[in-house]
Amino acid sequence: MTPTLTGEAIRLPGIARDEIFVETRVWVTDHGYDATLHAFDRSARKLGVEQIDLLIPHQAVPTVFDRTIASCRAPENLLAETDVVPAVNQTHPSPHLPGDPPGVAAP
C-alpha cells in the first residue's frame, strides 16, 4: 500500500489516531543523518500525519555503515523535540552482515 493510500485509511471516520500505530522505514538511498530527517518529513507529509510512531532504517548497508549509524541517530533529534519515549528494539541477524552474534542465523 502506498503512503498516500495508507494516510487516507488512517483518516477514515470511526478510527481514532491514537488507536493506530504508524511505522515507516528509511530506505537505503536515504541513509545519513540529514537525509533521514528529510525522509521522516517526506513520509509524514505523504501519510498526512504529524506523528510517526516508529521510524527505522530499512536495512543496514555494510559498505557505508557510517551512514547507517547516522540514520539510527537522526531520530534521537526528533525524540528530543517531543515527549515520545522510544519503546521498540528491532534486530535482524544475518550471517551476511558483520557483527551478528555467533551462532545466530537469519530467520
Q: What is the pLDDT of residues 48-103, one digit of tens each?
A: 988 888 888 888 777 888 888 888 888 887 777 766 556 565 566 666 666 545 54
Helix locations, 1-107, DSSP H: 3-10, 33-47, 65-80
Angle value at C-alpha 59, between 58 and 61, nearest 5 degrees: 135
Structure confidence at residue 18 as a pLDDT band (50, 70, 90)? confident
**Can you state the percent helix, strand and coil of the chain, rounding each to 5?**
45, 5, 50
The whole-model pTM stands at 0.70
Rounded Cα distance, 7 and 67, in Å: 28
Hey, where are the domains in the chain? 3-80
Q: Enumerate the β-bridge partners of residue 55.
A: 24
Residue 34 pLDDT > 90: yes
